[in-house]
Every structure is written in C-alpha cells, then in structure tokens.
Structure 1
Amino acid sequence: MSSGVAASLRRIFLANKQQGLVIVSTCSIPQNHRTFSMQYKDTEKAAHPFDYVNKNYNYFRHYYLGGHYTLANIHDNTLFFHVESNFGVRRSDFVKRLADHIGFLSVPKPDLDHYFRHYYLGGHYTLANIHDNTLFFHVESNFGVRRSDFVKRLADHIGFLSVPKPDLDRMHFVDETGTVNTREFHNDYCLPRDHMPSPAEWHLNPNAHASVRLLRPLLQTMSYQLRMGLSHMFSTGQGIVMDRSYWSYYAILNILRDFGYVSQDSYDFLLEYKVSIDYSLKMPRLIIFIDKDPHAIWEDIQKNGKDYQKGSKVYSLELLQAMDRMYKEEWLPRMSTYCHILQYNENEIKTLDDVVFDIEQLNFDDTNKFPDWRLTVDVELERFRAQLQDEHFWTRMFNVNRLLHLSEWWTEPNAQKTQLGLMKYDPRYYWTTNNWDIKPFFQRYQSWTRLPFY
C-alpha cells in the first residue's frame, strides 16, 4: 500500500460485487494528518528508540524467518472501519450487524455501563465523597533514609491512610494462599541468564539482565499500589500518605542508567511503559522530602544496615551523592510545577506539630498548581474512578508482548518451552491467584488482599 493509496482513504468507497453491497466509511482523516506507507521507508518519521531493522529480534527468528509472513495475511478486506456518532446515538447494534454481514470482527466500545448502573445511578456518587481532606501526600528521600515511621505517624495524626512502600514479593509474586512464590518457582527451572532476582540478590550483582527483571515488576507493583490507593481515596474520601510512590520511579531509573546498572535499551523500554500510564494516574498534592547528608546515609548503612545493604554494589557513596543531586536539582524542581514541596531533615520530623502547621498553610485549591486534579464534570470523575478499577485496561498497559523489543529479556529459542514443560510436573504449577495481571477483570472482583495497608 503506497502513501498515495493510503491518502485516498480519506474518501473511500468499497464495492462488494457478489453481494451488491456498498460501504461508505464514516471516518475521515484530517488533511493535516500524515499517512505512512507499509512498503516504503518514511523519511520524515522520527527514529524509534528501538532499532527494529538492524537488531535480530526473537519475533523475526521465530515467525518471520519461520514462514509466518504477515504480508501474506493482508488482502482486499484487511481493513479497519470506525463508526462514530454524537452522544446518545445507539451504534452497537449497527456495528454488530455490519461486521457480521461483511465478515469483519466487531469491537464494541469499552463497557463501563456496569459501573454506572451499580454505583453512579445507584447513588454511590464519587463527588459526594470528596472534601477538603481528600488529598494525596507523597513522602520521599534518598536511599537508606528511614521514612516508614514518619509516614505512619503523620497519617494517623491527620486521619489519613498510610501506604507503605511496595512489597514486591507479596504484591506481585506470592499467590493467594501465601504459600507459592512464583519468582522462586520460575528461578528453579529457568536458565541462569533468565533468573529473576530478589532485591537482596540484585544489590550483590546489579547487572543489566537482573536490573530489568527487577525494575519491570517494581514499576508494575508501584502503579498497582498507587491505583489502589487512589481507588480508596475516591471511594471513601479519606486522604492517603504514600511512602515513595509511583512518581519516584523516574529518578531511580535515571540514576541506575547513569551508573551503568540499566542499559540504554532497558531505560527506553521501561520509560516507554511509564510514559504510557502517567496520564492515567494522579500526581500528589504535596511531596514531603526528608533531607539527609549522603555521607551520613552511607555511614548509617554500613553500621545499621542489613547484610546485603552493607555489601551492596549499588549503595556506594558516589551513587548516594548523585541521587541527592538528582532529587534537589532535577526531580523536586520538576515536581514543584505540579504540587507543593516541603523539605525537612531527620530531626525536624521527630515532632509533627511543625509539619502539620506547614501543611495547613498550603493552598490545595490552586487550580493552576494542580492541573490533573481539576474537576470538569462529575461524569469524568466517575469515569476516572471506573478506569482505576478496570483490570482489563491495566492488563493491556503492561502487555507482555512489549518484552520482545528488549534484548536483555531474550532467551534461548526453546528455553521457555522446555521450562514450562518441566514446571508442569511441580505441584506449585497449580497455584491460584487473583493478581490483576493474570486473571481477566471480568472473572473476579477488586482485589484488596494484596495491599499491605489493608
């Protein structure tokens, strides 16, 4: 399909001579919208962060070179139709009848009606839950600074829900019964290069393969925890105080990339994940940053840290100093555009009176400061709350097919098949889960059992 043919799709008439059917496309491509050719290189298109041409990805080895030729599947009826109308116009029946008549697949609109029937129309009105204390606070610091006690004391003092830092094993790898750790199960049968490390193992050997296998489930778990925290806030009206939330991921990822623990390909891959879901979550109203000198942090780790922290190749003095600069020179100034910033040292957070007084002086009604907290219409708020609880949407956001783009995730051609064949004889293979990225959302209700704050 050349670019000229693609451009002609602005006004298209397809005739089916056998059935005498004429289909008129109701969707138009704007005049200023560029169309791309499938056969000819588009020199104007920006370079993709992943080099699909020069790298020999698994997809091409297993499918393209194996004879599964995509172009052979394309014919005259390999088309995409879009049916649109104004609000309130019923399109579903027409879409289904049209698709059945011409042999196409019909894709219905996202079904949020069940939410509105049971909650919105049933009187469970989200806007009625929101009051002056329906706020999201974020507590942040450098590595090695103890925040958990302060988060718990502050939340209890102001009547908020305290959300501790994500527990990767409990929230992502452990099954419902608490008896099977799927990370350990996977490691018993995988190749050494496919080993999924625990945080303690990664600190002792932070190579590029181990880093991406730790950071991807960490991003998934941090987004899951923030999503559940926001769901609680909009369902009850109670504010939340989070210990290092999803929004800390950018600073951590950049530092690990700068020190060579994450490759550039892995950085692009993980950042693509994060950017795709940023606009589906809310930023905090307030960030409380606990400042501590990097030299004091390093000395405290060597004296009071756990064994793996004392021997960590990550917690070096140079990295702690770079992380301190990252927070103060880049991350905090950037976040200050969207939220309030309060900064304290360890001595100042021992008593909460001054901290609470400073919080009370802040203006949380400034619409210029909090662009993603502006309430346009109440239905949009209901839809946002419904999306937070739409497991199918979040499963698609973390589609495992993206892993094919990452060289550090590649394995031997038959390794996965052999591994699954061996795992079937292990009793742990029949583990049960309600994890949101395993079961489809329509087969289960909202899961609260994995959250450490419930």
Structure 2
Amino acid sequence: MVSSSSFSLSRAVLGGLTSPKTPLTNSLSLCRRGIAGKVLRDRSEPKPAPWDYNKKSFNLLHGLYDKTTLRLDENSKMIMVDGAHAVGKTQFAQDLAEELEMLYMPKITMDDFYINKYGEDARKLDEYLTDRNKSYDEKDFFRNPVALPGCYDRMHNSLFKLMVHQHLLALRHILNTGQGVVMERGPFSDLIYAQAAVNAGWMSQSSVKFMRTSREMCMGHLFRPNLIIWLDAPISEVQKKICSRGNEWDKDSPVWKNSQYLHDIYEGMKNNYLQKARNHSQVLVYDWTVPGDIEVVVEDIEDLNFDYYGLHDEQQKDWRWFNEAEATSLRIHYSNPERFRRIMAQMEAFECFEAEHLYKTREEDDNMAFALLMLKGNGYATGYNEVCGDNVLFKSSKIESMFSWQQLWSIKKSDNDKRYV
C-alpha cells in the first residue's frame, strides 16, 4: 500500500555561494532531523521571530545579525502532494500541513492568473479582447478542451509559470520563517500532464517543446521537494467521484470521459516522474480510493530519512547546505525582489515563433495590456492604487510589493482617461 524512497537532477549553482570541501556535520544542514508531527516537535531551542519578507527584503547587511540557520528546524522542508483527480488532495494537504505545523499553499488555478490583488477579475474583459486573448480556464477546459485553436496550450503555459512563481514563494517563506510548506502539485511534473494533453489531441507538440526550453531556463533555481506524496486511485473510481460532484462543467465532459488521457497522466507519473524522483526526494504512494487516516501518513513521514546521506549522495542534495554563509546567500537570492523578477524573466528570454499557439503579435499584446488597464488595481503596483483605497503618501516605488503575477506583465498607468469595468 505504501512505498517510500528518493531523486536528483543537477541544480544550477547560484552565484556567490561559498562551498567548502566538506560539510561541517549533517546536523548543520537544513535536513538535520526527520520531519515530526506537532506532538513530537522539538521546541526546546528558541528561534528568531519570522522575518516579515512581505514588507522588507533581505540583504547581506541583514544577514550579519539575522542568522538563517537559527530559524531552521526538522520541519523546515517542502512537501509536494499530487495524485489522481477528485480523491481529496486539497483536504489531505490541508490536514497534513496542520499536523506538521507547516504552511499550506493551495493548488494554482487560473483564478490566480485572472484575479488581481484587489479582487478584480480579468475574465469580464472578454468583449474587449481578441480571440487569442479571451479568457480560458479549467471550467472551459472541462467543457471543451479545443474551444479555440491553442486555448489549452496558452492556459497550460500560464499555469506552469504560476507554479514556478509559487515554488519560489515557498522557498522564500521557508528561508525567512523556518516554517515548512505543503503544496499541491508543482512545476517538476508538469510535462507529464502536457504530454497527456498532446496524446489526446488537445495541445500542440510545438508548445510542449517551447515549455521544455522555458523549463530549462528556470528550473535550476528551484529546490526539488524533500517529500512527494502521490494519492492513487483507479480511473473508474476517479470518474465516479467526478460524476458525483455534480458540477455543471463536469457533466458530459470530454476530458473526464477520456480514460486514455487519465491513464497517460497516472501511469506517466508513477512509472516515469516518481521513479526518477526517488533518486533525490523521498516518495510516498498511497491508495486513496477511500481516504485513509492522516495520522498514519504522519507516522510514515516521521520514519523517513531526510538527513543521513553521504556528501555526494543525490538524495536531499538540493537541501544540503554547509554553513551559515551559504544559507544566507540562498536566502538573499530568494528574498530580493529584483533577483526574483529576473528568475521569472528568464522564462521569457527567448522567442517562441515555432510555438504557433503561444506566440502573440505586438497588436495582441497591446490589446491585452490596454484591456487590463480597465481593471482597478492594474494602474500601478500593488499598494499604490489610490482608486482602490491605497494610501500612497510617503511611499517609495523602491519598496513596493512586487510579487503578484500581473505585475510581471509590466502594466503601466495609461496617460489617457479610462473607465473601469
């Protein structure tokens, strides 16, 4: 019923890190002890208060008096939850985060793409947009995966970028607070889902090729999860559960009726991604047709080894740091807004002319930009929009909070009068 193991691709070395020939001891690395449930947590050592990374960045000067390793403990880790559809992954991840006293980060959806920080939804702008710019989300996909040429290609690419963005936010949180993170799905397994869509005829192979290149530009900055949990279930049971949900967009869906599509995802995950992931991450697989006891899962996690490996062992390699200087360098890397932006910008650092469904003309880009300016909150960076009630007195653009995905579109305030929709 349960299997556990480990994975490893070589992670790009971040600039400016010190790297001694031998680690001090395993106990000084982030993976110094196994994950513990809240009942068994070691609270004997006082920890510094969490760094408020939303209000201030972290630099070398801060590192002189705010030590990174002092706030890290046995639960300062990343857990990725994935599995078959409709088996209860969200509830499982929430319960697991509570039991391990970790932060739960919900699954990325197109709501994260369309809804800005002020709650304004870009999907209501469709009447002003060209066909390639019109909104398309998960509900539209379930109703019709080929509603418009390349509609799923663009949606999938957007979701992938958002997952990379969330993964970086998770690393920032762990390094600045010491609290671990439980997430649903992630960018590392995304190509399995993309290839399944290609096999079903819903996505272009040229789009997948572009995404592979985009992936290579950014994935070296991401730490692979300490633990991956896969919740399995037979396809027939998945389809029954989806039918029982009673959602209008699930009814007679060509997606859920396509058993081969689901088979390609589940078999690709179990026989391809998870098998490779065992080299660098611990892996647990459960039959979750009938939800089990979360306490049993916690006990299984507590039995896993996250620490005692050799210097050159691939298992947990991404999280094996050697001293305070390296930990501080990594923390600066993931806390600095400008470096954060550059990581995301690398994904767009090349043209995608061959990916016909992802490439947009200048006119289409302008159409999207001007339409977005019709939404409240898109005129300026978050926190600087007076029309939304923000107090901008004495604020400097140097300290703006720049981590919403919409700001990566480089939306600027229009010089012309505009009406809000």
| Separation in 1, partners of 2:289, 2:205 | 39
TM-score, scaled to structure 2: 0.70
Evaluate the alpha carbon distance shift between residue 183 and residue 443 of structure 1 in structure 2; reply closer, same or farther with a 3 A threshold.
farther
Describe the SS at the equivalent of 2:129: coil
Does the aligned pair in 2 maintain the 1:273–1:398 contact within 8 Å?
yes
Which one of the candidate residues 272, 285, 297 is aligned to 2:213? 272
Q: Match for residue 202 of structure 2?
A: 261
2:305 is aligned with 1:359: no
Instruction: Compute the displacement of 1:222 (Å).
Output: 0.9
Q: Does 1:125 align with 2:125?
A: no
In structure 2, distance between residues paired with 1:249 and 1:387: 24
- Partners of 2:247 and 2:351 lie apart in 1 by 35
Which residue does the alignment assign to 1:188?
A: 127
Deviations 1:324-345 (A, max 9, x none): 2112211110111111111112
Secondary structure at 1:408's aligned position in 2? Answer: coil
Deviates more, 1:301-310 or 1:224-233: 301-310
- Where 2:225 maps in the other structure, the secondary structure is coil
Matched, 1:391 2:340: yes
C-alpha distance 318-378 of structure 1, shift in aligned 2 (>3 A)? same
Once the two structures are superposed, the pairs formed by residues 11-410 of structure 1 within 5 Å of their partners are 115-121=58-64, 123-169=65-111, 171-178=112-119, 180-185=120-125, 187-207=126-146, 209-315=150-256, 316-346=258-288, 349-367=291-309, 368=313, 369-389=315-335, 390-399=339-348, 402-410=351-359
2:269 counterpart letter in structure 1: Y
Once residues 405 and 364 of structure 2 are traced to their aligned partners in structure 1, the CA distance between those partners, rounded to angstroms, is 34
Give the Å deviation of 1:354. 1.7
Deviation string 1:66-93 (CA, Å, 9 cap, x unpaired) is xxxxxxxxxxxxxxxxxxxxx9xxxxxx
Deviates more, 1:401-410 or 1:327-336: 401-410
Q: Is the 8 A contact 2:129 2:367 kept in 1?
A: no
Unmatched 5+ residue regions in structure 2? 1-17, 19-56, 383-396, 407-421
Q: For the Cα contact (< 8 Å) 1:176–1:432, is it kept in 2?
A: no
In 1, distance between residues paired with 2:174 and 2:272?
A: 29
> 1:354-404 deviations in whole A, cap 9, x for unaligned?
211111111100442112112134333222222223333134223276344
Give percent identity, aligned residues only. Answer: 20
Per the TM alignment, residue 204 of structure 1 is displaced from its structure 2 partner at its CA by 2.2
2:378 to 413, 416, 431: 431
Q: Deviations over 1:29-59 (max 9, x none)?
A: xxxxxxxxxxxxxxxxxxxxxxxxxxxxxxx
Q: Give the drift of 1:314.
A: 2.0
Q: Secondary structure of 2:228's partner?
A: strand
Q: Look at both structures and tell me which one has the larger radius of gyration over its CA atoms.
A: 1
Ranges in structure 1 where 5+ consecutive residues have no aligned partner:
1-86, 88-113, 436-440
Matching residue's letter, 1:166: I
Alpha-carbon separation, structure 1, partners of 2:369 and 2:402: 29
What CA deviation, in whole Å up to 9, does each residue of 1:253-273 have, x standing for no partner? 221122221111100111211
User: 1:159 & 1:412 partners in 2: Cα distance?
Assistant: 47
User: Hey, what's the Cα distance between the residues in 2 that align with 1:326 and 1:360?
Assistant: 28
User: What is the total number of aligned residue pairs between the two structures?
Assistant: 330
Query: Is contact 2:60–2:332 with CA below 8 Å preserved after alignment?
Result: no
Q: Is the 8 A contact 2:106 2:184 kept in 1?
A: yes
Cα RMSD after superposing both structures: 3.1
Q: What is the CA distance between 1:305 and its match in structure 2? A: 4.5
Cα distance, 1:412–1:151 mapped onto 2, change above 3 Å: closer
**C-alpha contact 2:87 2:291 (8 A) present in aligned 1:** no
The whole-number CA distance in structure 1 between the counterparts of 2:304 and 2:405 is 35
TM-score normalised by structure 1 residue count: 0.65
Q: Distance in 2 between matches of 1:266 and 1:230?
A: 28
